[in-house]
Amino acid sequence: MKYIRFQKDNQIYYGVVKGNSITQLDGDYITGETRPLSTEFALDEVEVLTPVEPRQVLCIGLNYEAHAEETGKPIPEEPMMFMASPSAVTAHGTEITLPNLDHRIDYEAELVIVIGKEAKEVKKEEALSFIFGYTVGNDVSNRHLQKKDGQFTRAKSFAGFKPLGPVIETDLDPNNASIKLKLNGEVKQESNTNDLIHTIEDLVVKATEVMTLSPGDVIYTGTPSGVGPLSPGDVVEAEVGGIGVLKNHVISK
Ligand code: MG
């Protein structure tokens, strides 16, 4: 099932997408059981919103071997975790603003976990049952500040640096999904989540050893190799097979 949050005529709706059609739901799919209503919308006539408004945005670094290699960093024995500000989250179709053209600012296509129920000290065999579904993310990163600060909060948290969407897919094998990023139509990243060093289950286990995750919280699971810089005027498309394409335009401040 593909869940979507969207806006039409200044009103926010929740729905399920099939082809170009959205069936409206009677409430927020993250907070409880929902039922379909009889109202239908055309997908191309609504404004797509982020599928969730997370309270916590957890990110995993260096979770594909080839990406760890391209950054010159050793492969982490345990998932390398950092947080980004929820205020950086932005929807499919919005603009990514580059705050400083002297800084290198990179795209990073990622599979994103959406938590479905309160998760604390989760066991591996139960990990998938705490997940509502999966969406696509772009972990936009200011490399200059990442290096300068020695930690990632500032580099990863500018407004618009965490595109998310367009939908949440609930029927997906998260450990075997194709992942791709196109910059101005050219493929720059191409891999599969079966190359993840730490699996989806491992990430939920390790994260919830530390913090309690709530419905709607998200985990960016790491990016494959092929990261590179964004420039004003670019069109960046992150794609996970079975979910969809997350497309954003890049502008300067
Ligand atoms: Mg990343």
CA of 18 to the centre of ligand 1 (A): 30
CA of 101 to the centre of ligand 1 (A): 20
Tokens at 216, concatenated: 């709607």
What's the pLDDT score for residue 128?
A: 98
CA of 227 to the centre of ligand 1 (A): 9
Mean pLDDT across 141-170: 97
Q: State how far the alpha carbon of 190 is from the alpha carbons of 103, 110, 145, 155, 187, in Å.
A: 25, 11, 26, 24, 7
What's the pLDDT score for residue 107?
A: 98
Please enumerate in sequence order all residues whose Cβ is within 8 A of that of 208, keeping only pairs 6 or more positions apart, or say none.
Answer: 119, 120, 121, 122, 130
In whole angstroms, give the CA distance from residue 117 to residue 215.
5
Mean pLDDT across 234-249: 98
CA of 157 to the centre of ligand 1 (A): 12
Mean pLDDT across 60-84: 93
CA of 46 to the centre of ligand 1 (A): 29
Mean pLDDT across 180-207: 97
pLDDT band at 201 (very low <50, low <70, confident <90, very high): very high
pLDDT band at 28 (very low <50, low <70, confident <90, very high): very high
Distance of CA 85 to the CA centre of its chain: 13
CA of 241 to the centre of ligand 1 (A): 18
Please enumerate in sequence order all residues whose Cβ is within 8 A of that of 252, keeping only pairs 6 or more positions apart, or say none.
Answer: 97, 98, 101, 232
Find tokens 């989760």 and name the residue: 122
Please enumerate in sequence order all residues whose Cβ is within 8 A of that of 111, keeping only pairs 6 or more positions apart, or say none.
Answer: 134, 136, 137, 174, 177, 179, 193, 221, 240, 243
CA of 174 to the centre of ligand 1 (A): 17
CA of 75 to the centre of ligand 1 (A): 14
Average pLDDT taken over every residue of the chain: 97
In terms of pTM, does the model score above 0.85? yes
Find tokens 């101005």 and name the residue: 184
CA of 223 to the centre of ligand 1 (A): 5
Mean pLDDT across 171-192: 98
What's the pLDDT score for residue 31?
A: 92
By three-state DSSP, how is residue 189 classified?
strand
What's the pLDDT score for residue 132?
A: 98
In whole angstroms, give the CA distance from residue 26 to residue 74.
48
In whole angstroms, give the CA distance from residue 5 to residue 48.
6
CB of 249 closer than 8 Å to CB of 160: no
Full strand arrangement of the beta sheet holding 228-229:
141-142, 105-107, 228-229
What's the pLDDT score for residue 106?
A: 98
